[in-house]
Amino acid sequence: MSEEINKITILSGTNKFGEKERFEKIDIKKGEVVAIVGHTGAGKSQLLYDLERLAQKDTKSKRKILVNNEIPDKELRFNPKRKLIASLAQSMNFFTDMSVGDFLQLHLESRGKKSRQGLIKEVIDEANKITGEAISPEMNLLNLSGGQSRALMVSDVANISVSPIILIDEIENAGIRKEEAIKILVEEGKIVLIVTHDPSLALNADKRIIIKDGGVVKILDTSLKEKGIAHYLNWIENYGLDIREKIRRGEGIKNVEIYCEPIKSKNKT
Amino acid sequence: MKFIIFAGTPGSGKTSIIKYIIQELKNDFKLFFAKFDCLQTSDDERIAKEYKIPTVKKLAGELCPDHYTALEIPKIIKENQDKDIVILETAGLCLRCSPYVKEGLGINILDITSGDPSRYGPILTEADIVAISKGDLISQAEREIFRAKVLKVNPKTKITEVNGLTGEGTIDITEFIKESPAIKNEKLTLKHSMPSALCGYCYGNKIIDEKEEHQRALAGQKLKNLVPGLNCGKCGFKSCNEFIRAVLDGRAKKEQCPFIKQ
Residues B124 and B210 in one domain: no
Q: What is the pLDDT of residue B155?
A: 95
B233 and B170 in a single domain? The answer is: no
Q: Are strands A25-29 and A7-11 parallel, antiparallel or unpaired?
A: antiparallel
Give the closest of B141, B159, B160 to A156, CB-based: B141
Q: Please state the rounded mean pLDDT for residues A152-162.
A: 89
pLDDT digits (tens, 9 = 90+) for B93-120: 666 677 799 999 999 999 998 888 988 8
Please choose, from the candidates A175, A127, A129, A131, the residue with its C-alpha nearest in 3D space to the C-alpha of residue A153: A127
Report pLDDT digits (tens) over A245-262.
899 899 999 887 766 666
Residue numbers of the domain that contains B172: 2-179
- Using an 8 Å CB-CB cutoff, list chain B residues near A157: 140-141
Q: What is the C-alpha to C-alpha distance for residues A46 and A15, in angstroms, rounded to an integer?
A: 11
Q: Do B56 and B127 have their domain in common?
A: yes
Looking at per-residue pLDDT, the higher value among A91 and A156 belongs to A156
The per-residue pLDDT for A101 is 93
Measured in angstroms, the CA of A81 and the nearest CA of chain B are apart by: 9
Q: Measured between alpha carbons, how far is A61 from A51 in angstroms, rounded to an integer?
A: 11
Q: Is A80 on the interface with B (CB under 8 A)?
A: yes
Kindly report the pTM of this predicted structure. Answer: 0.80
CB A214 within 8 A of CB A50: no
Q: Which residue of B has its CA nearest to A94?
A: B138
Q: Is the pLDDT of residue A269 over 50?
A: no
- Taking contacts as CB-CB distances below 8 angstroms, the residues of chain B near A111 are 144
Q: Which residue in chain A has the smallest CA separation from B116?
A: A96
> DSSP secondary-structure letter at A172?
G
User: Hey, are the CB atoms on B144 and A58 less than 8 Å from each other?
Assistant: no
Mean pLDDT of B122-145: 90
Which pLDDT band holds residue A265 (cuts at 50, 70, 90)? low
Please provide the DSSP assignment of A216-261 as one string: EEEEEEPPHHHHHHHHHHHHHHHHHHHHHHHHHHT----------P
Helices (H) and strands (E) counted in chain A, each on its own, are 8, 9
- Tell me how many domains chain B contains: 2
B221 with B103, same domain: the answer is: no
Last residue of a domain, one of B179, B214, B246: B179
Count interface pairs A-B at CB distance under 8 A. 64
Burial of B6 (0-12, 13-18, 19+ CB in 10 A): buried
- Residue B209 and residue B143 share a domain: no
Of B145, B166, B167, the CB nearest to A107: B145
- List CB contacts (< 8 A) between B160 and chain A: 78
- What is the Cα–Cα distance from A142 to B82, expressed in whole angstroms? 52
Phi, psi for residue A26 in degrees, rounded to 5: -120, 125
For the ranges A96-100, A153-157, B151-155, B225-229, the maximum mean pLDDT occurs at: B151-155
In this structure, whether the domain defined by A1-84+163-223 belongs to CATH 3.40.50.300 is answered with yes
* First vs last C-alpha separation in chain B: 41
Q: Which residue of A has its CA nearest to B147?
A: A110
Give A255 to chain B, closest Cα distance, Å. 41
pLDDT value at B256 more than 70: yes
One domain, residues B149 and B30: yes
Residue A1 has a pLDDT of 41
**Residue type for B29, please?**
F
Furthest C-alpha separation in chain A: 60
* Residue in A107, A149, A165 to test binding to B, most B beta-carbons within 10 Å: A107
Q: How far apart are CA A111 and CA A90, in angstroms?
A: 22
Domain boundary among B179, B208, B225: B179
DSSP labels, chain B? -EEEEEE--TTSSHHHHHHHHHHHHTTTS-EEEEEEESS---HHHHHHHHH---EEEEE-TTS-HHHHHHHHHHHHHHHTTT-SEEEEEE--TTSS----BTTSEEEEEEETTS--GGG--HHHHT-SEEEEE-GGGS-HHHHHHHHHHHHHH-TT-EEEEE-TTT-TTHHHHHHHHHHSPPP-SS---BSSPPPP--SGGGGT--S--HHHHHHHHHHHHHHHHHS-S----TTSSSSHHHHHHHHHHTSS-GGGSHHHH-
Longest dimension (CA), chain B: 67
Q: Quick check: A78 contacting B, CB < 8 Å?
A: yes
B172 and B44 fall within a common domain = yes
How many residues are there in chain A? 269
Distance from CA of A182 to the nearest CA of B (A): 17
**B50-59 residue pLDDT tens:** 999 999 999 8
Length of chain B in residues, anyone? 262
Torsion of CA B99, B103, B104, B110, to 10 degrees: 50
Paired with B217 in beta bridges are none
Do B110 and B169 lie in one domain? The reply is yes
The model's confidence at residue A104, banded by pLDDT at 50, 70 and 90, is very high
Residues B205, B251 share a domain? yes
| Residue B234, domain CATH | 1.10.15.40
DSSP A78: H
Q: Which of B147, B179, B211 is the last residue of a domain?
A: B179
> Is the pLDDT score of B152 beyond 90?
yes
CB distance B74 to B98 below 8 Å: no
* Bridge partners, residue B59, by sequence: B37
Query: Would you call A96 and B145 a contact, using CB atoms and an 8 Å cutoff?
Result: yes
How close does chain B come to A113, measured CA to CA in Å? 13
Task: Give the residue on B whose Cα is nearest the Cα of A80.
Answer: B144
One domain, residues B169 and B49: yes
Q: Please, what's the b/e burial string for A42-79 (b: 16 or more CB within 10 A of its CB; e: otherwise)?
A: bbbbbbbbbbbbbbbebbbbbbbbbbeeeebeeeebbe
- A26 contact partners, CB below 8 Å, separation of at least 6: A9, A10, A209, A216, A219
The CATH code of the domain that includes B134 is 3.40.50.300
Partners of residue A90 in chain B, C-beta under 8 Å: 136
Between CA A52 and CA A89 the distance in angstroms is 11
To the nearest 10°, the Cα dihedral for A54, A59, A62, A64? 10
How far apart CA A104 and CA A153 sit, in angstroms, is 10
The arithmetic mean of pLDDT across residues B26-33, rounded, is 96
| Between A187 and B261, the higher pLDDT residue | A187
Three-class SS state of A88? strand
Q: Which residues of B make CB contacts under 8 Å with A?
A: 112-113, 136-142, 144-145, 147-148, 159-161, 166-169, 171
- CA distances to A35, A138, A212 from A209, rounded to whole Å, are 6, 42, 10
Task: Using alpha carbons only, give the angle A187, A193, A199 rounded to the nearest 5 degrees.
Answer: 100
B23 to each of A47, A102, B18, B28, how far by Cα in Å? 23, 42, 8, 10
Residues A201 and A172 sit within 8 Å (Cβ to Cβ): yes
How many CA atoms does the CB half-sphere of B59 hold within 13 Å? 11
State which amino acid sits at residue A227: K
Closest CB to B141 among A59, A60, A107: A107
Q: Is residue B91 part of a domain?
A: yes
Residues B175 and B204 in one domain: no
Q: Please indicate, yes or no, whether residues B71 and B109 belong to a single structural domain of this protein.
A: yes
In a domain, B77, yes or no: yes
The residues spanned by each domain of chain A are 1-84+163-223, 95-159
